[in-house]
Structure 1
Amino acid sequence: MKKVSEIMTKNVQFCTPHESLVTAAKIMRDVDCGSVPVCDSNRVIGMITDRDIVIKCIATGNNVNEVHCHDVMTHDVVTCSPDTDVHECARLMAQHQIRRIPVVNEKGELMGICAIGDLAQENIYINEAGEALSDISEPDNYRH
């Protein structure tokens, strides 16, 4: 069975809790993704998404240069270990409707990221990645 450590992206860029949202947005732009881990001494303490920046800062009229990552990040982060089976990782993504899972060691330190695209590149797991993406992409109930 293939482990997350075999397909994850290592050398992950992250932001710190006290950096501005502009820093997080620049990382997202440079890495071409929509979410970035927030780490304190390399320990994952949150995740920040492009949606967090828009909904919790811009849409409320706040200045992105003055709002910090800790102000809008998600605190309850779904993580997995490098030894997690890729099938379990796909299940976690579908269950929690997320596209990227920080991979952490037993101390909670960031070791890498496993993205839905990493799963999709593994032909043997393409069906699970597709199912996870399908579940992730289910529309939420919201008002227009």
Structure 2
Amino acid sequence: MNTIRECMSQNVATVSSNQTVKEAAALMSQYNVGSIPVVDNGQIKGIITDRDITLRSTAQGQDGNIPVSSVMSSNIISGSPDMSLEEASQLMAQNQIRRLPVIENNQIVGMVALGDLSTNQMSDVAAGHALSNISQPNKTT
């Protein structure tokens, strides 16, 4: 069985909750990623995405000097390294997320993106299913 440990990125850039949004954006640019886990004292506290920065900071007229904690998502959906690719795909689809922090012993050990799953031939169907669910608009009334 293939696990996400086999396809996750292991060198994960992180920011602390008191760093600025500008610093987080600079790291995203440097590492060419769309999200960065927020870690304080070794514990994951949230995740900040390029979308969070755009919608919760820039679109609100904020400058880049506000703390990451004011725009990060704190409801963390995470996986474990031994989770199967199919389980990860299902979790991502259910929660409509494209990136999944991988946690082991309460520490972040990696990140897996939808693209990582789709590059594994065993999970093409699962990744396709996840993408179709993630890409559907939320049904709000």
Q: What TM-score results when the alignment is normalised by the length of structure 2?
A: 0.93
Could you tell me which runs of 5 or more consecutive residues in structure 1 were left unpaired when the two chains were aligned: none
Asked if residue 70 in structure 1 is aligned to residue 72 in structure 2, the reply is: no
User: CA–CA distance in 2 between the matches of 1:124 and 1:72?
Assistant: 36
Q: Which SS does the other structure have where 2:128 is aligned?
A: helix
Give the structure 1 partner of residue 93 of structure 2.
Answer: 94
Provide the identity percentage.
Answer: 37
Which runs of structure 2 are paired with 1:113-132 in the superposition (5 Å)? 113-132=111-130
Q: Which SS does the other structure have where 1:79 is aligned?
A: coil
- The one-letter code matched in structure 2 to 1:133 is L
Q: Which SS does the other structure have where 2:46 is aligned?
A: strand
Q: Deviations over 1:40-99 (max 9, x none)?
A: 12321101111111111111111112x111111111100011111111000011000111
- The one-letter code matched in structure 2 to 1:8 is M
Asked if residue 104 in structure 1 is aligned to residue 103 in structure 2, the reply is: yes
Q: Which SS does the other structure have where 1:12 is aligned?
A: coil
Could you tell me which runs of 5 or more consecutive residues in structure 2 were left unpaired when the two chains were aligned: none
Q: What TM-score results when the alignment is normalised by the length of structure 1?
A: 0.91
The alpha-carbon deviation at position 29 of structure 1 amounts to 1.4
The alpha-carbon deviation at position 141 of structure 1 amounts to 5.6
